[in-house]
Each structure stands twice: as C-alpha cells, then as structure tokens.
Chains A and B, each alone.
Chain A
C-alpha cells in the first residue's frame, strides 16, 4: 500500500499548479466566465502547448500515454481554477471513446489533433428529456447507402460551444428501442445544418445543439457502424468519470483552502470567525466532503490503472464527488456569507461549476442506482 504520488506525479502537480496560477488568474477566469466581456484566448493556447491534453492518449497517437492517476493529478490541479474546458470533454471523454470504439483510421485521424488541441471534440449525448442511458437518445441517423443523415436536438451539452467537432449519439432511423441501435457520429461543429445555442443562466458552459439534415459518411461513424458505438461510449465514460471526479476534488480543495484562510483572517465580534464553533462546523463538513471525494476518486483511478473491475468504485466516486463538490460550495458560502456571493471574490465560479458537473456523465441518483446493480443488490 502506498497512497503517495510518484516523484513524477508530484512534479506534474507542481507544474500544473504554477501554470494555472500564472495563466488562469482569478481575473482571467472571471473574464472568461463573463457573458459581456470577450474571452482571452492566450491561456487556452498555452494550455494546448503544454501537451497535457494528450495525457491519456497513447504515444503512438501523439499523446503522452500517461496513467489514469497521472490524469487525475493533472485535472485535480485544473479543477482548482476551475479552468474551463473543453479539456475533459475532448481530451478525456472523446479521446477515450475513440480508443474504445474507433477504427484504426479514426484513431490516427483524430487522436493526434485532440492531443494538440487543434481538434476539440465534444460528445453530444443528452437531450431535452435528460438522461445518460441509451434509451434516452432520440436523435436519428437515417442511413441511405453509405451516407447518413442526422436530425434531432441535443440539450445540456457540456462544452458544446467550444467544440470544433461533435461526437454525436444517434439512433439508427427506424431502429427499435432495443440495443445496438445507438452509435456515435463525428461531425464538424461548423456544419451548416448545426445550430449551437448557449443556455443562459446559472449553467456552466451548457448548450443546445440542433442538427438538421447533417450528412455524414461511414468514415465518420465511430467504428464504421452505429452498432457498438454506444457500448464504446459507456466504457469510455467509466474511465472518464474518475478523472472528472479528480477535477471536482481540485475545486473542493481550492475552496477549502480559501475557507480556512477566510475563517482565520475575517474578524467579527472582535475575533477571527474561525473561533466560532458554528463556523468551524462548516469548514469541517467541507473538509470531510473533500476528503471523501478525494479518496473515492483516487481509488477508482488506481483500479483503472491496474486493470481491475472498477464499476462499483466508479459509481461510488461520481456519487460522492458530485455531492461533495456541491456541498463543499454550500459550506464555503456559509463561511463567507455575503462576501462569497460577490462575483469578484471568485467562489461563485466554483458554485456554478459544481452545479453543472453534478449532472455531467450522470448525477448521484443515476450512479447510486448503478452502484446497487454493481453490488448485486
């Protein structure tokens, strides 16, 4: 047993942390999040130049060939920002889906460009009747010879706006609701039949994407056929989820640190507020949520790395991680009171992220049900 990071992982952690501090200052993050200001592009360009987006992509496809724990370390640090995507959506979920189900040609075509950030491929899975099951996919792919025509609408797509390409879940037209009817089609996001709309409000980087007579050929269908595509996505999700959980852990860690700091330096009634046990309760609850999320995430990453059956750990990690980040933000708001609600303070960046990521790749309720199945209950 050894729960420490390797020296290389420690170096990676340090490097990413200083990168985030330098390139994604609170001011930059607020500017990116602002609906009225134009987003600075340089930080993202610099992020793509680090090569980190290729962390899970094998070296033969231009990536770094890192372990899942390596990816956990990287994304935990990015989560501290929280540095906005499309990184997990493209470099983790889409890349893993290509690895799980793509043809050799598709892997060669897409993975090197995902690793450099030239291609930002985002899986468009969920629709208006939100859900992460195969049966929730309604968007159709009508086959005509070797051509497909896609029609339908995707909703609540995370990172959808920043995508250059979509990995779109589609049901074969006329196919029953049985299995093997849903596959994945790679389409350029700037196709004239595609319309992407930002969802306004509290949501963090969610959009609606409609597809109208978008055509694709067999080379764009993951694995060359719709059949088997959904299974590849599910296998990829199982691996992407613990990485996402590490990202949530990074967010919780960052707000834990500012909450400890604030409770030491903020004075009310003539004393630091951290002296009050009511305030201590909030910080301790935050720390417990953070540590629970941390160790469930890293145990799942470890299981993936050693190739062990990880389903129960993955569902556990997402249920605990999503609730953890959500609750951690609430506790941090309790510590900070009015100050925490001020946009310029930065806490609300995490609050928004925690709500959106709560659902991304399945919410706690979904994963609790899957966990019960995995345990054979």
Chain B
C-alpha cells in the first residue's frame, strides 16, 4: 500500500510551471469572504477572468478531452493544479460552476457528438458559467418526482415549472434541468434532461432568503434562487440523452454529487479552527491548552482524518477504475456529519463568539460564524445524510431485492 500521491519528475516539472503561471495570472486583489454571499460582482469577474485564462491553457477542466477544450491531462496532473490553486485559496474552476462540473460530465457520457461539440467547449474554456436546476417544491430527496414539464411542440420543447435551491449570485449563461417529458410514462422513464440558455424568454430568477447555502464541492455559491419557467421554448437539440431518457443522464451527475470522485484536500474550516485555538488566548493561555477544548479539537481531528481517508480511498478507486458501490455516499455522509458535529464543537469551544462575525467579538474573520450556520444547512444539498444512507443500503444489497449499481461515470 502507498497512501501518498506519487509525482513523477514530469509532474513535478508541471507543478513548477503551474506555480509560476498562477503567480503571474491570479489577479491581485482576490479576497475570500467567509460567506460566499458577500462575493461582489468585481470579485466574481476577477475569478471569471482567471477562469478564461485557465481555460485557454486547458487547465480549467484539466481532465476533459482536448477536442472539447479540456486539458486532456491525467488526473495526477489535475491534482497538482488543484493543490497549487489551493495555495492561493482558490478552487478549480475558481468560481461556482457546479452546473459545468456535473452537467459537463453528463454531456460527455450521454450527449451526441454534435451536442458535445456545441455545449462542451464553452464550459471547458470558461466562456460560460452553468447552473444545475434539480430540486422543486415537490421534489427534494425524491428527485424523480419533479413536476415541471417539457412538451414537444414542433422542433422545440416548451418548458413550464418551478425549480428551487438553484445556482448562485451574479447569474449564469446556461442552466440544465430535469423535467417531465411524458406525463403518462412510468416513473424514471418519463423525464428529459435539457441544456438551456439562461437568456431565453420566460425565465425568471428570484433569490431565496436562506440561513446560508453550501455543502456542494468547489467554490461556494452564496445565493440560492428560485427559477420560474413560463412557456420557455427550447430547441429539441438541447435535449441530452434522448426523449424520456433523462433519469439515465441524471444517474451520472448524482453519482458524482454523492462524492464518488473523491478528493484529497484538507478541510479549511478545521484548519482555521485549529489555528484560531492555538493562537488565541483566553484567561492567559491558548484555547488549545484548555482540557475541554482539547478533547473537542481531537474529536474534530479524528473525524476529519476519517473523512480524509474515505475521500482518498474514493480518489484512488476512481483513479484506478475500480468499480465503487457504497463508497461515494459514505464519504458524503461522513463529510456532512463531520460538519454538523463540528458546528457543535465550535459553539462549545468558542462560546457566543462562534455566532457573530463582528470584527472584534467574533472569531477567525467570521469563518466560525459562517460555519455555525453552515453545519446544519450543509448536510442537505446533493442528497441529505439520510438519503446517503438509503443509497448505501441499496448498494450493499440490503435495501432492495436487487443490488443497485453505481451511476455511469464514463
């Protein structure tokens, strides 16, 4: 066994190249608000500009195929890119684009050649930002219960309905969604998966007022929105995977969203908490020397180590093309429960300082306050912790008569 990513000489050379490039190309003045909701238009545009520059080098979506504008790089190189971006406090891509990440992967698997040529290059080169539109008022954990409709009319589909918990602040260029294409067909055989330009007439975006958003991988989203479709005409070309084949397409991004890809990154909130407790004195001694605080910090450390190891295992499995079963939702479940437990520990360790981002009486520049809100909220996006357990049960063969397979990733 070997628990360490090994880098070849070539990869180390690549790392030096990335380091130097990022130093020259990461715009000055990028700041990281504790709550992504505070991301300004100016800050967003700095990140988009960096995204386009990365895209021009194939580094925005490094593992995507070069023929569609990706980098065509091995995942080992993508890890180097992510690690070096992380040193700047950035993710790859450096802006919220879960629609691109999950939608792009779905189009790669299920799109026709023409669709791939049309939709993928703008995503992979960073010229568009994409949102995913999944949940509806009647479809949360039971995603297949969506009620929005897409009715075939000539060469178009006409879409009506409402999507919730969508996207981020500051708009998008594309939206992809799952709607009912056949009201008479059976569950899972009645859906269509559409890639929709956000500028089409009849689309209204309305910000939601939430305690906090988050819990997705990649850059934080900040705002979540309700999106209304009012007789939106979408060309049939924008239907991916075929008529009534939408659920099949959805299994791909759901699998990714449930954590199967795996990641080897540290939890920034854990690092901030430890730093804060080591460097902040209470009653004349660092918080980390208080016996009760130590116990809780060790709890956090242990849980974080377990999450790190699960994510590492998943990364290794997907990298080695070993078929996963329950491992993706397990990592997601553990990561989310860690977040929730941690919010309790932060409250215990820091007291009410955990509840304010006041510059004097708050802690860690508002990051602890943000996590105090996020701990309970972040366990739901991308499948609740309970749903992750339901999926795990099916995958180990106890929830249903037939053991469920993981969604297709290639």
Residues of A within 8 A of B (CB): 1-5, 69, 260, 263-264, 272, 274-275, 277, 279-281, 283-284, 287-288, 291-292, 295-296, 298-299, 301-303, 316, 319-320, 368, 371-372, 375, 377
Top 3 A-B pairs ranked by shortest CB distance? A274-B398, A295-B309, A280-B393
Chain B 281-313 interface 0/1 with A at a Cβ cutoff of 8 Å (1 = within): 000000011000011011001100110011011
Let me know if B397 is at the binding interface, CB within 8 A. yes
Output the nearest chain A residue to B293 by Cβ-Cβ distance: A377
Q: What's the minimum C-beta distance from A339 to chain B, rounded to whole angstroms? A: 17
Q: Are B399 and A275 in contact (CB under 8 A)?
A: yes
Q: How far is the CB of B262 from chain A (nearest CB, A)?
A: 11
Chain B residues with CB under 8 A of A320: 302, 305-306
Mark the stretch among B137-145, B202-210, B326-334, B369-377 that contacts chain A.
B326-334
Q: Tell which of B305, B389, B390 touches A296, judged by Cβ atoms closer than 8 Å.
A: B305
Number of B residues, CB within 8 Å of A: 41
Question: Which of B289, B317, B398 is most buried by chain A, counting CB atoms within 10 A of its CB?
Answer: B398
Considering only CB atoms, which chain A residue lies closest to B327 in the complex? A291
Contact B1 A368 (CB under 8 A): no
The answer to whether A292 and B2 touch (CB under 8 A), given A274-B398, A280-B398, is no
Residue of B nearest to A272 (CB): B398
Is there contact, CB below 8 Å, between A302 and B297?
no
Bound Cα distance from A110 to B195, whole angstroms:
73
**Cross-chain contact A1 with B398 (CB below 8 angstroms):** no
Check if B6 is an interface residue, CB within 8 A of chain A: yes
Interface residues of B in 364-410 (CB under 8 A from A): 389-390, 392-393, 396-400
B68 to chain A, nearest CB (A): 28
Least Cβ–Cβ distance between A177 and chain B, in angstroms: 23
| Option from B3, B289, B333, B390 in Cβ contact (under 8 Å) with A1 | B3
Whether A284 pairs with B312 at a CB distance below 8 angstroms is no
Majority SS at the chain A contact face: helix
Q: Which residues of B contact A296 (CB under 8 A)?
A: 305-306, 309
B278 at the binding interface (Cβ < 8 Å): yes
A178–chain B nearest beta-carbon distance, Å: 25
Instruction: Chain A residues near B42: list those with CB within 8 A.
Output: none
Question: Assuming A279-B398, A288-B334, what are 8 further A-B pairs, CB within 8 angstroms?
Answer: A1-B319, A69-B1, A260-B396, A260-B397, A291-B330, A296-B305, A372-B297, A377-B298
Cα(A2)–Cα(B316), bound, Å = 7
The residue of chain A having its C-beta at the shortest distance from the C-beta of B76 within the complex is: A1
Find out whether the CB atom of A4 lies under 8 angstroms from the CB atom of B295: no
Complex alpha-carbon distance, A224 and B306, angstroms: 42
- 19 residue pairs bridging A and B, Cβ less than 8 Å apart: A1-B2, A1-B3, A2-B2, A4-B1, A260-B397, A272-B398, A274-B398, A280-B398, A283-B393, A287-B396, A288-B330, A291-B310, A291-B330, A298-B1, A368-B295, A368-B302, A372-B298, A377-B277, A377-B278
Task: Assess the A3–B313 pair: CB atoms within 8 A.
Answer: yes
Instruction: Give the Cβ gap from A273 to chain B, nearest Cβ, in Å.
Output: 9
* Cα A69 to Cα B1 with chains together (Å): 8
Looking at B4, B5, B393, B400, the one whose CB has the most chain A CB atoms below 10 A away is B393
Whether A368 and B298, one on each chain, are in contact in the complex, defined by CB atoms closer than 8 angstroms, is yes
Q: A377 contacts which of B288, B306, B396 (Cβ < 8 Å)?
A: B288
CB distance from B285 to the nearest CB of A (A): 12
CB distance from B260 to the nearest CB of A (A): 15
Task: Report how far A284 CA is from B397 CA in the complex, Å.
Answer: 11
B392 touches A377 (CB 8 A): no
Residues of chain A within 8 A (CB-CB) of B298 are 368, 371-372, 375, 377
Interface residues of B in 120-139 (CB under 8 A from A): none
Chain A residues within 8 Å of B398, by CB: 260, 263-264, 272, 274-275, 279-280, 283
Q: In chain B between 329 and 376, which residues have their CB closer than 8 angstroms to a CB of chain A? A: 330, 333-334
CA distance A4 to B397 in the complex (A): 24
- B313 contacts A295, C-beta separation under 8 Å: yes
Chain B residue at smallest Cβ distance from A6: B1
| A299, B311: Cα distance in complex, Å | 14
Q: Which B residues touch A377, using CB under 8 A?
A: 274, 277-278, 288-289, 294, 297-298
A22 and B8 alpha carbons, distance in the complex (Å): 45
Assess whether A3 is in contact with B3, with CB atoms less than 8 Å apart: yes
Q: Which single residue of chain A is at the shortest CB-CB distance from B303?
A: A292
Give Cα A284–Cα B387 distance, bound, in whole angstroms.
Answer: 12
